[in-house]
Amino acid sequence: MFENIAVIPSFRNAVSSAVASGKISHALIFEGASSDIRISAAKETAMAILCKGETKPCKVCSACHKVSIDSHPDLHIISKDGAMIKVDEIRDIKEKAKVYPNDGDKSVFIICEAQDMNPQAQNALLKIFEEPARHVCFILTCPSKSSLLETITSRATAYFAGEDSGEDSGETNEKSKGLAAELLLTMATENELQFMKKTALFQKDKALFVSVLKNMEPVIRDALVLSSGNKNLISGEKEACEKLRSALTQKKLMLLLTEIQSLRETTENSANHNLALTRLSALLYSIK
């Protein structure tokens, strides 16, 4: 397995052994590496689970072929539609999980980038994990299992696929987390001029700016968690989350999250990130 996927040997050996033994967990978490690698590994694992050949995955049987073109009736791939994976999509999974497989012994559900589930969706998934059907296997991909509720991770088996060469260094990432919370707190409590002064730091550091935008996302998600009455926060930035929750409605928080994600994607592909800096300030205060 995973001959053409850049995962570390310990991941390859552990997942392959679990599949070969037939004792694979009802819920797997693939963390680390890049999003593309995680999702590719999840699809190959699904192929191995659904394979009808002796060596799994054989990649020549009808089941493997159907998985390769995303047309297997027992494979369900879920990803975000918009800013988040919503609770209705998880409820749909719950209904599909009640149905026995069409072609084999298992139904496999891949939740791509599970950190994008909104709070209600994570809680709905937890209810499925608590009473798993024997014929169902879930595979969740995410950068780190710490981005999911502990109640979910405690009911799943996590596999680390390797470091993401495109990720920030630990020092840069810690710095950007603090800056992300600081900027959002400023947006919630101060005027636009003060906010713009704080963004001057990014004028000559595009990588740091992109990292800060990325780290704004879990803080905004946590503000949404608080606004829904839940207190299970993953960002560790309680003050910023509470101020955001007080300053913005749920609808505005959802809009903010969508716009920040869009701005990050645009910035990553843009040669001139200073235009994005100007847009960030105007964006946040127009939403507010």
**pLDDT at residue 49, as a whole number:** 92
Torsion, Cα of 157, 109, 167, 216 (10° steps): -100
Q: How far is CA 125 from CA 8, 84, 178, 179, 250, in A?
A: 28, 14, 30, 32, 21
Which helix (H) or strand (E) segment holds residue 76: the answer is: strand 75-78
> Quick one: CA dihedral 52, 55, 57, 58, positive or negative?
negative
**pLDDT at residue 80, as a whole number:** 82
Q: Where would I find the H helices in 4-118?
A: 9-21, 35-50, 62-68, 87-97
The pLDDT profile of the chain, 288 residues, written as one tens digit per residue, is 888 888 888 899 999 999 888 888 889 999 988 888 899 999 999 999 999 888 888 888 889 988 888 889 999 998 887 778 888 888 888 888 888 888 878 899 999 999 888 778 888 888 888 877 888 899 999 988 888 888 888 888 999 988 765 544 555 667 788 899 998 988 888 887 888 888 877 877 787 888 888 888 888 888 888 887 777 777 778 888 989 889 888 888 888 888 888 888 788 776 667 777 778 878 787 877
Token look-up 């409820």 returns: 91
CB neighbours of 254 closer than 8 A, spacing ≥ 6? Answer: 83, 84, 224
Residues 203, 79: Cα–Cα separation, whole Å: 33
Domains 9-160 and 170-287 share a fold: no
Checking 6-15 for CB contacts under 8 A at 24+ apart, the result is: 6/33, 6/37, 6/162, 7/33, 7/37, 7/41, 7/161, 7/162, 8/160, 8/161, 8/162, 10/160, 11/41, 11/159, 11/160, 11/161, 11/162, 14/159, 15/41, 15/45, 15/159
Token look-up 């730091």 returns: 201
Instruction: Please state the domain extents for the chain.
Output: 9-160, 170-287
Fold for the domain defined by 170-287: Zinc Finger, Delta Prime; domain 3 (1.20.272)
β partners of residue 28: 139, 157
Q: Which CATH class is domain 9-160?
A: alpha beta
